[in-house]
Amino acid sequence: MRTTTGMVDPGSLSRRDTRISILIIGMLFFIFGFVSWVNAILIPYFRIACELTSLQSYLVTFAFYISYLVMSVPSSYLLKSVGFKKGMMIGFWAMALGAFIFVPAALMRAYPLFLLGLFTLGIGLAVLQTAANPYITILGPKESAAQRISVMGICNKFAGIIAPLIFAAVILRVTDTDLERMLPAMDPAERAAVLDAFIRRVIVPYAVLGTVLFALGLVVRYSPLPEINTENESRETAAVNSDKKSIFDFPHLILGAVAIFLHVGTQVIAIDTIISYAGSMGIPLLEAKAFPSYTLGATIVGYFIGILLIPKFVKQVNALRFCTVLGAVLTVCIVYMRGMVSVFGHEADISIWFVVMLGLANSLVWAGIWPLALDGLGRFTKLGASVLIMGLCGNAVLPLVYGYFADMAGERSAYWVLLPCYVYLMYYAFYGHLVRSWKLKRSPVPSKQSYELSEN
């Protein structure tokens, strides 16, 4: 049913319209992945080109993802004002601007200007994520939301697999293998000239990326993607929310935002640190560039398992519980398990493959948290989604924490930062998503609708 404002209730969409919408949103998630996961190769690339410490190099993820903290709530008001499609166009255009900033940054080899470009890219992504995640969550039955989000995750992570490989193929050369080792022997003028030429290889790729992002904004604006109505509440939801004045009256949402913060931090650590961890084992950059793809490949395997099993064979909340426990176990294995193994032609310590397997552990956590955290929000859905998107700043903070401990105690020991994150995620999966009151005493039993969602 189309409302007087031109918005459509999700339940009134035909199967064809629903599939078209899922296809378009899947394309958006592919773009999210391509732009986000290229950071895995940018971190060691900037560390060499701009002569950075480990902590300084992880400012790449900080600048990119801290924008979610700044922009997520404004994004919800932007989307409420102009609608999903115009809001997405604005998001794409902000990303295009961020990509174009890379051109003068490369010409000047100015790391702060690169960080500004990454921050601007993140602002655009914050708008797009605030629109796309609640959109796909409510675009169908709640009990299969994790399944739909898993499909989106495949689009996202597939892009993440190919992005570092394409980027490395475009900007890296075989002769770069010994570049970092040769730099200390060069005089300052020669070193500056070599590094200037090295960093300017990003100019053409990011100029092309900016042009493509600008065009995609126009494509989405004039696409058949319907404007979904998230303001109307069912009679039952309206009755439950009658005394709710703000999003802080939904403890399961706020606890879910903390869970998102920790989950995305663990995910980006597993992917964006693995090249540096491989380097600590003596694996050269041109070989190590494949490891983020292995981690993302493990994540895709998890998504396919989720699509096949949820909700027919496995309840989505149980899948979330399994993944959080697996993440904690793998973290302990990373720190304590040792021994050289040969896998896929790589001679490396076995611990790096436990880092790769974190991709499997992380695969269904995002998909599990979103429907549980948004359950029963009704007219607060857009603002609630923006709060969850704010949690993506965990991608900015936790890699810096890892980088600090990596400089202090080494890359392997720094993976201990993951353990408390997985402990909290276990809490949310087993209990936190059921909390409906901030009071210490046991709150009333959640509504039947909420209970059924939690158990599916």
Could you read off the pLDDT of 135-150 as tens digits, one per residue? 776 676 666 676 777 7
Tally of CB atoms within 10 A around 345: 7
- Number of residues in the chain: 456
Could you read off the pLDDT of 276-295 as tens digits, one per residue? 899 888 888 778 888 888 99
What pLDDT, on the 0 to 100 scale, is given for residue 449? 44
Distance of CA 85 to the CA centre of its chain: 21
Environment class of 103 (CB within 10 Å of its CB; exposed 0-12, middle 13-18, buried 19+): middle
Q: Which residue has the tokens 């992570």?
A: 157
Q: Which residues contact 397 (CB under 8 A, 6 or more apart)?
A: 62, 66, 261, 265
Alpha helices in 38-83 (DSSP H): 39-49, 54-57, 59-82
Pick the CATH number of 10-229+244-454 from 3.40.50.2300, 1.20.1250.20, 3.40.50.300, 3.20.20.80: 1.20.1250.20
263 token code pair: 């989950």
Give the C-alpha distances (Å, rounded to integers) separating 335 from 234, 350, 353.
49, 10, 12
pTM for this entry = 0.71
Task: Give the range among 216-220, 322-326, 414-418 with minimum mean pLDDT.
Answer: 216-220
Could you read off the pLDDT of 308-323 as tens digits, one per residue? 888 788 888 999 999 9
Domain boundaries, the chain: 10-229+244-454
Could you read off the pLDDT of 229-252 as tens digits, one per residue? 555 555 555 555 566 677 888 899
Report residue 454's pLDDT band, with 50, 70 and 90 as the boundaries.
Answer: very low
Distance of CA 308 to the CA centre of its chain: 23
315 token code pair: 């309840």
Question: Is the Cα dihedral 247, 251, 256, 258 positive or negative?
Answer: positive
Q: Give the pLDDT mean for 369-387.
A: 81
Q: Which residue has the tokens 């039947």?
A: 448
Confidence check: pLDDT of 327 > 90: yes
